[in-house]
Structure 1
Amino acid sequence: MDDKAVLHHYLRSRRADLLAKLDGLSEYDVRRPLTPTGTNLLGLVKHVASVELDYLGEVFGRPADRSLPWFDDDAEPDADLWAAADETREEIIELHRFSAAHSDATIQALPLNAVGEVPWWPQERRRVTLHQILVHMCVETAQHLGHADILRELIDGSAGQRPGDPNLSVRSADEWSGHRARIEAAARQAEETARQAAEAAQRA
């Protein structure tokens, strides 16, 4: 594969992995906030789909015929990061697929050195290439997939990209509990060692 095909492959894979984090969950679980700042699974999918439409559409003069009201000037802050009660899971999944298809068409149509402009970036950084934006979207999607990995594990204990993920150690529930306990014990021991060292330094 050439460089564009490699980047496109990684972007497609991370998109699919992110969308799969919704599988098998209730309406509540895909929407509920699990961090103090409100991070939630369906909101992550909505956000990634929305920004990709801009970065691989508008930036290269290929705007999509799609209204994203959560990006309007009068929209509530962070409205792209959560789903209102009247926004359905199906609508957001369809947006994700629409965004992916529109982005794929841009990637296929343009060479890596194609030039675009990001109007919401500072003036000195606005001129970009497709190569740069492909890297940007791979990183952005992977970052939010990492968030989604943690949220899904908090919801139902699912971990890894898929059942049998070779990157995840195979342990029973009891073995995972023991593993976690060892990490907790190590953290507490390190904290106690640091406390003792600080007290010794004060006495010296």
Structure 2
Amino acid sequence: MTDHMKNQTKHAIRAGHEAEETGSGPAAEETGTGQVAGAAGNLGAHIKRADQAIMARKAEALRGLDLTVPQCRVLGFLVGGAAKSCTQLSREALVTSQTMTGIVKNLEAKGLVERRTSPDHGRVVLVSLTPAGIETARRASVLSDTIERGVLDALSDGDHALLIRLLDRVAEAAPVAGIRLLTP
């Protein structure tokens, strides 16, 4: 992360803290019900924007290894030596089996994974890393970790801990959010 990007991130975090503390800012308009207008509708967008920014940076870095982010994730799922079926990989990656089959075919064409029939189930095809895949997965992991550390460097330890706690609370609240509104 460049110094300019770090400064922009720190400025945005600081502005967010100031808006929180003063109750100002575009998302802090009072509705008269004690709620902040616009904040609820934008939560997912803010989370997605942060995720997309990180993923875009990782995609840029992974281009040097001739990998996409989804391909990097699959290599990561296979690190450790355990062969997995496309179905297992698709569940881990939260994509369809068809999408995973395409990712695996591309990785196989690059010589990073190999497919073989399962000795236990003749119709199941298992995917595992090749030696080149192991080395590429290692290099991709270093790049990914470096980017994540760069993002975290823009946060204080307290901000990082708070962000994790808040994201955990969002994940816990989301499955039951709005249920009162949906029940008569």
> Normalising to structure 1: TM-score of the pair?
0.29
> Normalising to structure 2: TM-score of the pair?
0.31
Query: 1 or 2 for the larger relative contact order (CA 8 Å, sep ≥6)?
Result: 1
- Say which structure is richer in helix: 2
- Say which structure is richer in strand: 2
